[in-house]
Structures are given as C-alpha cells and as structure tokens.
Amino acid sequence: MSFTRRRLIAASAAAIAVPQVSRAQAWPAKQIRMIAPYPPGGGIDTVTRAFSELVSARLGQPIVVDNQPGAGATIGAAALARSAADGYTLMVGSMVDYSIAPYFHSNLTFDMARDFVPILEIANGTIAVLVTPSLPAKNVQELIALAKSKPGELSYASSGVGGLIHLNYEMLKQMTGAEMTHVPYRGTAFFQADLYEGRVQVSIDNVLAHLPHIASGKVRCLAVATKARSPLLPDVPTMAEAGVPGFESATNYTLFAPKALPVDIVARLNQVGNEAVSDTGFRERMLKLGIVTAGGSQADVQAKLPAEMKRWADVIVKGNIKPS
C-alpha cells in the first residue's frame, strides 16, 4: 500500500470518528423528559419538579416533568423501560414500589433490575411507628409485649393490602411475633382520625401527614425506621435503638434511566444530581416535607437495589401476601 493511500485511509477514519465524538460531547443537546409515575401534587411529583429544576440549570437544557400515574407507579415505569437509552428520558421513582410490583401486578412489561439503571438516590421519606395516645405502650418493646399478650386484639391501620404501610407491619410481625389485626384503608388521610381517637391503635407510616399531630400529642411516635435518628424527630429513637435491629423502611426517591444508558451520561447525571441534592435550599425544602436528602455514588445506589428487592420479597413471600 502506497504512502498516499495510507494517508487517505487515516484521514477518512478520522473524519468518521469526529462526528461520533461530537455527539457524545454534545449531550444534552435538547429537552429532557423526566417521568413522575404519580399524579401532580404528591411526594414523587414534588421531589421530581424541585430536583429537575436544579438539574436543568446545571445541564443547560430544559427538563419537562411528565406525570404518568396509575397501577402502583407501574405505568410510568413501563414507559421508561420502552424509552431509548439516550439520556433524554429519565424517571424519579421508588425502589420500594418496583420491588413490590411483581407480586401485586400481573403481566408487568418491565423488571427493575433488568430494565433500569439507578443513577442516584435522591432522598427518603421518614417512616415511624405511631400509636394512639391512649395505648399504654410508651416504647416499641412495650408495644410488642402488649401485642403478644393479646394476639389480634390491637388493630393496625394501613393504606391497603400490599402497600408499604401494610408491609411495614408484616415485617415487624415477622421479626418480633407481634400479632395485630390489619385494617386496610384507602390512604393515610382516611385512617388518621381513627388512629388518633383510638378506633385503631397502631400504624407504621410516613411521618409527613402526622408531624403536627405528633407535636400536639394527638398521636405518639415510638421510633423511626431509619438507620440514624431523623432530623425531623431528633429525640425519637431508631428501631435499632428501640430493640428491633434490622428493621428499616423508607419511602424512596431514586433517579432511574433505561438500562443501556452510556456510562458517561450516567456519571454526568450522578454528578449534577449530587450537586442538586447538596443544594441548601433543596435540602431545607425537602425537610419541611418530611423528606431527608441522600445522594452518593452510582455504585452506592446500584448496591442498594438488590438489597431492597430481597427485603420486600422476603416479607411478601413469608407472609403469603396476595393481592386483595
């Protein structure tokens, strides 16, 4: 091969490579869609919009929130799984929702571990053990002892069979033997009055709706289900401190993308996502909503995913919990 021909081949290869490099460097070059798999106004929607605003400013492209609610957040997740892995469709969803979904939704078209890449754990809502003030139990161990001494006499409120509040109770029962009667409602707002007035005695729920009533004494908070004490309730012990090590639960807010998203885009999203989560205004705004920001590396959130899947699968299978 002549020297001139070799130069022509090399020049042609360089010409082909340049646009590819330019495309990779150009991301994001257009508007990004952020799926929120719940209706406007709820926790996921609020976190998604506040987070997206900060990430958009750092990426220099608009992020449009696309609410796709329904079927326990599986409609929005299915839309993410169908999307191109190009960085222009993302989702803020819950690891817990998609750990539970296979057991309560038939014919799912996606699998969290197979179809999604978790990029960043944005935040977690605080779960707490709540009891009616008239209950004589002043701590978790007294509650467990009371429930075991009167199996099924205490009642436990949840937002419905297979929801996180129900599974929190099932996990406690499996870990301690505290047997209570499950009373499912349509949501927290529907059982608050009954809990505060003693018609049901216990719930293990997100504290957000209960915070003002904890402060006023309408409901008693025995423990939080976080690893460390919550800044929302610094005087309340963790479940580990209360004598139930390993009992951990939280409502979860995680940034997901389709599985095959290029690693450089994953890294960039994790970087700007951490910057957003570290923003003082964002952290303070979330805390007022009962949400504690998280952050961390992509490896951190990736490692947490199988642990969450196993946690809730074990509870559901051991409890033989079926859709109602």
250-275 confidence digits (pLDDT tens): 999 999 999 999 999 999 999 999 99
39-80 confidence digits (pLDDT tens): 998 889 999 999 999 999 999 999 999 999 999 999 999 999
CATH topology match: 30-124+250-318 vs 126-224? yes
pLDDT at residue 11 above 50? no
Q: What is the pLDDT of residue 65?
A: 98
Higher pLDDT, 324 or 245: 245
Mean local confidence (pLDDT), 276-295: 95
Q: In terms of C-beta density within 10 A (0-12 exposed, 13-18 middle, 19 or more buried), how is residue 161 classed?
A: middle
How many residues does the structure list for the chain? 324
Where does the pLDDT of residue 25 fall: very low under 50, low under 70, confident under 90, or very high at 90 and above?
low
The mean predicted confidence, pLDDT, of the chain is 92
* Residue ranges per structural domain of the chain: 30-124+250-318, 126-224
DSSP assignment of 205-238 equals: EESGGGHHHHHHTSSEEEEE-SSS--TTSTTSPB
CB 254 within 8 A of CB 308: no
Q: Which CATH class for the 30-124+250-318 domain? A: alpha beta
65-122 confidence digits (pLDDT tens): 999 999 999 999 999 999 999 999 999 999 999 999 999 998 899 999 999 999 999 9
Q: What is the pLDDT of residue 199?
A: 98
Regarding the domain delimited by 126-224, which CATH topology (the fold level of the hierarchy) does it fall under?
Answer: D-Maltodextrin-Binding Protein; domain 2 (3.40.190)
